[in-house]
């Protein structure tokens, strides 16, 4: 049995006209001899609408109920779409996450997939030509509904493709593929024909929401070829795949940005062994991801510690810090929401220096101050003031020649 997994994002199912376009693509897959597993998101805006309803009761609504609430968005999409296919005479059925089941841990709002039993799915695929599966949702070992984090339908798609050894996982969205930067922010952004799993991981972790990071982790781990393409045109899109030598030839493949950031500074903590652990362990125990960290030089046995977390985690982080204030000896905690991250990404950086200085020079030429810096083998990130974000993205895109095919190649 040849299986094709196709995941469609919120804009692709926002209304019956668009669902008709999805229907045409599914029919094409069937005509090519595949059994098709279609993973759908909620209609665009629906998850936000539901979360807005939950926040009418409280700023921090119960997370397990929130998950059960937002899974209804995907339930609406898959049932409506299955009706459309049945009317067209296609043998299909809708499938919720718990019916497979997609088993997750109970980290509500950001659950991780633990296991997908493919036996039931394969049985269903014997009986039906198309399965219309609700993205984003799973079920915990306690039988509660869970969700996989924003953008989590990408992960459902890739995880199902891995579990079913599908030929490919196609991710259909509102842009033609993965670009050198967000095409909605930079008009000269260029679509990439291919990108390595590692680069895509950096793009996603640095804020490019075209693929959720966990979907790329799955794709890399299980070697699933992922093709990102548009629902609304026939462009072949971008293949996310294993790295090859040609990819290393390109110094920088793109620019990513992340607005969901804030900077926290803890002033005047004691400068002694164990302080970093005392600050960051409770934050990490609360499931909060800390990214950039800078410790100032010591003055009279005291120092300042500055780090970034996502805006959604700001309140929780401040609560933890004020609870633990005595233990870390901090005098004051300040935070800043007017910041964002901009990153330059490329596997070619592994063997070539000079990218960091090009980035810093470009930002200097635009008179943009760098607040913090972090690096990995294939990425350099700067924290800057949010008001300069678009300017920084466009200037960096230009400086690295990303509008030209091949960009700046390694010499």
Interface positions, 220-259, toward ligand ADP (CB under 6 A): 254
Sheet holding 379-385: strands in order across?
Answer: 254-258, 339-345, 379-385, 372-376
Distance CA 177, CA 309 (A): 28
Q: Is residue 209 close enough to count as binding ligand ADP by CB under 6 A?
A: yes
257 neighbors 342 (Cβ within 8 angstroms): yes
The token pair at 332 is: 């004051």
Q: Which residue has the tokens 């960096």?
A: 396
Q: How many CB atoms lie within 10 A of CB 267?
A: 15
Q: Verify binding: residue 209, ligand ASP, rule CB under 6 A.
A: no
Q: What angle do CA 35, 36, 39 make, to 5 degrees?
A: 155
Minimal CB distance to Mg ion: which residue?
A: 151
Among the listed ranges 7-15, 97-105, 199-207, 296-304, the one in contact with Mg ion (CB under 5 A) is: 7-15
Does the footprint of ligand ADP cover residue 10 (CB under 6 A)? yes
Residues 165 and 2: their CA atoms lie apart, in Å, by: 9
Least distance in angstroms from the C-beta of 82 to ligand ADP: 20
The residue among 67 and 304 lying less far from Mg ion, judged by its C-beta, is 67
Q: Which of 46, 40, 50, 38 is nearest to 13 (CA)?
A: 40
Asked if 151 is part of the footprint of Mg ion (rule: CB under 5 A), the reply reads: yes
Give the one residue of 153, 261, 308, 317 binding ligand ASP; rule: CB under 6 A.
153
- Residue from 4, 30, 36, 42 binding ligand ASP (CB under 6 A): 42
Rounded to a whole number of angstroms, the minimum distance from the CB of residue 135 to ligand ASP is 5
47 binds ligand ASP (CB under 6 A): yes
Q: Does 173 bind ligand ADP (CB under 6 A)?
A: yes
**Does the footprint of ligand ADP cover residue 303 (CB under 6 A)?**
no
Q: In angstroms, what is the minimal distance from the CB of 408 to ligand ASP? A: 34
* DSSP labels, 165-219: T-SEEEEEESSSS-BSS-TTT-TT--B-SEEEHHHHHHHHHTT-TTS-HHHHHHH
Sign of CA dihedral 225, 226, 231, 232: negative
Q: Which is nearer to Mg ion, 104 or 204 (by Cβ)?
A: 204
SS3 39: strand
Q: CA 7 to CA 3: how far, in whole Å?
A: 13
Residue 178 interacts with ligand ADP (CB under 6 A): yes or no: yes
152 is a contact residue toward Mg ion (CB under 5 A): no
CB-wise, 214 or 341, nearer to Mg ion?
A: 214
Shortest Å, Cβ 54 to ligand ADP: 20
**Which one of ligand ASP, Mg ion, ligand ADP, none interacts with residue 303, CB within 5 to 8 A by kind?**
none
User: Degrees (nearest 5) of the Cα angle 143, 155, 151?
Assistant: 95
Distance between first and last Cα of the chain:
47
Q: Which is nearer to ligand ASP, 97 or 151 (CB)?
A: 151
Q: Which two tokens stand for residue 118?
A: 């493919």
Answer for which of 30, 38, 161, 175 binds ligand ADP (CB under 6 A) is 175
For ligand ADP, the closer of residues 154 and 304 by Cβ is 154
List of residues contacting ligand ASP (CB under 6 A)? 9-10, 41-42, 47, 73, 135-136, 150-154
């Amino acid at each position: 049995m040849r299986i094709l997994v196709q995941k469609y994002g919120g804009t692709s199912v926002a209304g019956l006209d668009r669902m008709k376009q999805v229907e045409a693509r599914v029919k094409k897959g069937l005509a090519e001899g595949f059994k098709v597993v279609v993973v759908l998101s909620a209609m665009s805006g629906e998850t936000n609408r539901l979360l807005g309803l939950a926040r009418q009761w409280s700023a921090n609504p119960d997370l397990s109920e929130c998950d059960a609430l937002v899974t209804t968005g995907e339930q609406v999409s898959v049932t409506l779409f299955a009706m459309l296919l049945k009317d067209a005479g296609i043998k299909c059925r809708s499938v919720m996450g718990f019916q497979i089941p997609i088993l997750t841990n109970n980290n509500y709002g950001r659950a991780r997939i633990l296991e997908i039993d493919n036996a039931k799915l394969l049985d269903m695929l014997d009986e039906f030509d198309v399965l219309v599966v609700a993205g984003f949702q799973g079920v915990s070992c306690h039988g509660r509904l869970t969700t996989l984090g924003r953008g989590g339908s990408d992960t459902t798609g890739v995880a199902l493709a891995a579990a079913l050894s599908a030929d490919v996982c196609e991710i259909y969205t509102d842009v033609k593929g993965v670009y050198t930067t967000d095409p909605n922010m930079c008009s000269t952004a260029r679509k990439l024909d291919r990108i390595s799993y590692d680069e895509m991981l950096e793009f996603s972790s640095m804020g490019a929401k075209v693929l959720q990071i966990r979907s790329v982790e799955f794709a890399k781990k299980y070697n699933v070829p992922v093709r990102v393409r548009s629902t609304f045109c026939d462009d072949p899109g971008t293949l996310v795949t294993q790295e090859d030598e040609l990819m290393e030839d390109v110094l920088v493949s793109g620019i990513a940005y992340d607005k969901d950031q804030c900077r926290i500074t803890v002033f005047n903590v004691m400068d002694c062994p164990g302080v970093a652990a005392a600050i960051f362990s409770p934050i990490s125990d609360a499931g909060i991801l800390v990214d950039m960290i800078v410790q100032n030089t010591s003055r009279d046995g005291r120092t300042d510690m500055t780090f970034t977390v996502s805006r959604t985690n700001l309140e929780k982080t401040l609560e933890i810090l004020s609870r633990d204030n005595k233990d870390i000896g901090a005098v004051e905690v300040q935070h800043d929401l007017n910041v964002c991250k901009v990153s330059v990404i490329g596997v070619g950086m592994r063997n070539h220096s000079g990218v960091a200085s090009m980035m810093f020079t470009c930002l200097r030429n635009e008179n943009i101050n760098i607040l913090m810096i972090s690096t990995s083998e294939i990425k350099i990130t700067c924290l800057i003031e949010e008001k300069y974000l678009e300017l920084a993205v466009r200037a960096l895109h230009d400086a690295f020649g990303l509008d030209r095919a091949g960009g700046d190649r390694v010499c």
